[in-house]
Amino acid sequence: VERLSLWRDGPARSAILTYVDRVTTSGSATFVPPAARIAVFDNDGTLWCERPSSPQAFFLLERLHVQAASDPDLAAKPIVRALLKGDLHAAMAEGLGPFADVLLRTHAGLTVDEFVAATTAWFDRAVHPRFDVPYGSLVYGPMLELMDLLRAASFRVFIVTGGGVEFVRAVSDELYGVSPDDVIGTSVELKAERRDGRLVLVRQAALHGSPNEGEPKPINIQSHIGLRPIFAAGNSAGDREMLEYASTGPLPSLALVIDHDDEAREYAYRGASFTDPHAEPITDTAARLGWTAVSMRRDWARVFGEDVAG
Amino acid sequence: VERLSLWRDGPARSAILTYVDRVTTSGSATFVPPAARIAVFDNDGTLWCERPSSPQAFFLLERLHVQAASDPDLAAKPIVRALLKGDLHAAMAEGLGPFADVLLRTHAGLTVDEFVAATTAWFDRAVHPRFDVPYGSLVYGPMLELMDLLRAASFRVFIVTGGGVEFVRAVSDELYGVSPDDVIGTSVELKAERRDGRLVLVRQAALHGSPNEGEPKPINIQSHIGLRPIFAAGNSAGDREMLEYASTGPLPSLALVIDHDDEAREYAYRGASFTDPHAEPITDTAARLGWTAVSMRRDWARVFGEDVAG
């Protein structure tokens, strides 16, 4: 089987294959023991399509429509009105914080099991406005190949997302082969309650700590994994610190930045940080620090699976 | 090979073996799919000896002696004076909070790598005051066997400790075969700093959230794993909510409580909660809720390895 068959020959594909060979060749000076082979991937815009907005934003919108229909006060709020008009960019312009706040209120009071059930049901029925397929079909085939290549080389593959950890976990195994405990993301406060003698965990209307963007990414990687990654992939300024953390350790490392430059098959945009909209574009950071840029247009033979036009 | 050879025949050994058979027998009504086989273990007093105080307390004490020798103000504090006199129980009587505060100050400013190095160096040189062996020798052999039994039955085994997560992770693979990312514990705040172009994470003198005792245990299990465990083992009131969480889900479960009733070979005491000293003794909770009690004296043929007298 050809390695990375969905990647066109070029500097990105070569950099990946060379790197994996370097760290897995026994006896070489660049060999890395398997226990230290930790790979981390951002999710939105790195593993799945985040335009015109992230799947989680659409998930929120659907629930918000239901709630606003019976709650005029809620429906009158500016961010809610923007969302209900379908103006997702305006609603997200205020950053992840206010956006997350609305999301949290829509699902506060659900147990974690109820939330997972709501999430998987939504993935089963919702379709993307442009591609007209389920959101689960809009994962990047070349990145799935890359994750498989790394696992075959004894890497452990983690997802480190700014999105809600329970939202991504609900589908991480099915979409990516990543088990729930290998997903690190933005968390909500939980409260333990006893109901009919059973202990259940209930989602609260508050974030637990900061959104998992920017500096919190390496800190949450350490909290969760306890090891510095040697491979990282991202696509926005919110991934910068994670990419820096992975690429400035003592072991040979590779940092990939996905460049969304393919309007025809996906979208053309610069990935911004939700928490710092004025941050340096990550493609500029990558060029300055010698990270490996991945051009969707140039480097990927396909973007999505065969069931997606484009 | 006999299963659980270090366990004497009796209700505890039978309960474990019966349970593992029930959840792994294909086609039975009590079968649990491997992905849902999550086991969680407390550490202090459940996997390793925590008397006369936990290994982490001795680790703290050693560093505190060094610091107090050059800092009279520090040496004059009541909790520090109690610690320096070797009166660990008095120092810990105030609970985990003040104790953790002293611990945090002793190691604030270290990078996570420096802290791991300090921890492993201490494990290499320190010996237990009664048994005169390294603390790493004072893990319970029957519990190592139990972890192996569960792993052989396709369980994933996690440690959920009130101790510092980085302290336990430094030795979790060597002592227990548990990789660092499968340890959940009390965390300190970290800060990302750039030093000579490298991004490093520095320990701050503050806890990140609450100590991992009591209600935080199931909440942190959910945050970290995203699945409800079906097997749990603990030994103190601080494990109660974790045991409740594991034992009140929809799947067949087993909750074990280690009863320290063996003064001759280990210690005789009731495991208390650090965060709630007036909580019901966990052995009473176990009797009331039908959990499985493990008597060290009755149920274990050995407590430690062959290198430990007793």
Six token digits for residue B235:
């030994």
Each residue's pLDDT tens digit, A192-230: 999 999 999 999 999 999 889 999 999 999 999 999 999
**Beta carbons of A181 and B249 less than 8 Å apart:** no
In Å, what is the CA distance from B2 to each residue of A52, A77, B5, B256?
59, 66, 6, 21
Say if residue A17's pLDDT is above 90. Answer: yes
Mean pLDDT of B226-235: 98
Say if residue A72's pLDDT is above 60. Answer: yes
Which stretches of chain A are DSSP H helices?
A: 11-24, 55-69, 72-76, 78-84, 88-92, 96-107, 112-125, 141-152, 165-176, 216-225, 240-247, 282-289, 296-299
Say if residue A274's pLDDT is above 70. Answer: no
* pLDDT score recorded for residue A228: 98
Say if residue B302's pLDDT is above 80. Answer: yes
* pLDDT score recorded for residue A98: 79
Give the range among A58-67, A161-170, A255-264 with minimum mean pLDDT. A58-67
What are φ and ψ of residue A66, in 5° steps?
-65, -45
B187 in reach of chain A (CB within 8 A): yes
Mean pLDDT of A2-23: 97
* pLDDT score recorded for residue A224: 97
AA letter at A256: L
A154 in reach of chain B (CB within 8 A): no
AA letter at B95: G
* pLDDT score recorded for residue A301: 97
A84 burial (CB, 10 Å; 0-12 / 13-18 / 19+) is middle
* pLDDT score recorded for residue A102: 78
* pLDDT score recorded for residue B32: 98
- Count CA within 13 A, CB hemisphere, residue A107: 32
Each residue's pLDDT tens digit, B159-197: 999 999 999 999 999 999 999 999 999 999 999 999 999
Say if residue B103's pLDDT is above 60. Answer: yes
A136 in reach of chain B (CB within 8 A): no
Per-range mean pLDDT, top range of A268-277, B207-216, B252-261? B252-261
* pLDDT score recorded for residue A121: 97
Given pLDDT bands bounded at 50, 70 and 90, which one contains residue A104?
Answer: confident
- Count CA within 13 A, CB hemisphere, residue B193: 12
A224 in reach of chain B (CB within 8 A): yes
A222 in reach of chain B (CB within 8 A): yes
* pLDDT score recorded for residue A96: 67
Mean pLDDT of A50-54: 92
Q: What percent of chain A has pLDDT over 90?
A: 81
**Minimum Cα–Cα distance from B196: chain A residue:** A248
Q: What is chain B's Cα-based Rg?
A: 20
Mean pLDDT of B103-132: 95
Q: Is the peptide bond before B34 cis (omega within 30 degrees of 0)?
A: no
* pLDDT score recorded for residue A279: 87
Give the range among A17-21, A90-94, A166-170, A248-252 with minimum mean pLDDT. A90-94
**Mutate which of B168, B181, B210 to test chain A, going by most A C-beta atoms within 10 A?**
B181
In this structure, are strands B198-208 and B183-195 parallel, antiparallel, or unpaired? antiparallel
Each residue's pLDDT tens digit, B30-40: 999 999 999 99
B179 in reach of chain A (CB within 8 A): yes
- Count CA within 13 A, CB hemisphere, residue A31: 7
Q: How far apart are CA A41 and CA A85, in angstroms?
A: 32
**Beta carbons of B199 and A112 less than 8 Å apart:** no
* pLDDT score recorded for residue B1: 64
**Beta carbons of B199 and A241 less than 8 Å apart:** yes
Give me the residues paired with residue B48 across strands. Answer: B44, B139
10 Å Cβ neighbour count for B134? 16
Distance from CA of B113 to the nearest CA of A (A): 9
- Residues 200-219 on B with a CB inside 8 Å of A are 201, 208-209, 215, 218-219
Element (H, E) at A156: strand A156-164
Give the range among B10-24, B90-104, B157-171 with minimum mean pLDDT. B90-104
Six token digits for residue B64:
């505190």
Say if residue A256's pLDDT is above 60. Answer: yes
Say if residue B145's pLDDT is above 70. Answer: yes
Given pLDDT bands bounded at 50, 70 and 90, which one contains residue B310?
Answer: low
* pLDDT score recorded for residue A38: 98
Give the range among A61-70, A212-221, B120-129, B151-160 with minimum mean pLDDT. A61-70
Mean pLDDT of B136-149: 98
Give the range among A214-228, B63-77, B230-244 with minimum mean pLDDT. B63-77
The overall average pLDDT reported for chain A is: 93
Helix (H, G, I), strand (E, B) or coil at B276: coil
Distance from CA of A4 to the nearest CA of B (A): 28
Judge whether A205 and A145 are in contact, CB under 8 Å: no
Mean pLDDT of B70-91: 86
List the one residue out of A272, A254, A270, A266 whose CA is nearest residue A299: A266
Distance from CA of B199 to the nearest CA of A (A): 5
Question: For the packed helices A55-69 and A112-125, what is the interaxial angle rounded to 10 degrees?
Answer: 100
A197 in reach of chain B (CB within 8 A): yes
Q: What is the ipTM of this complex?
A: 0.92
Say if residue B138's pLDDT is above 60. Answer: yes
Give me the residues paired with residue A184 across strands. Answer: A160
Q: How far apart are CA A235 and CA A269, in angstroms?
A: 10
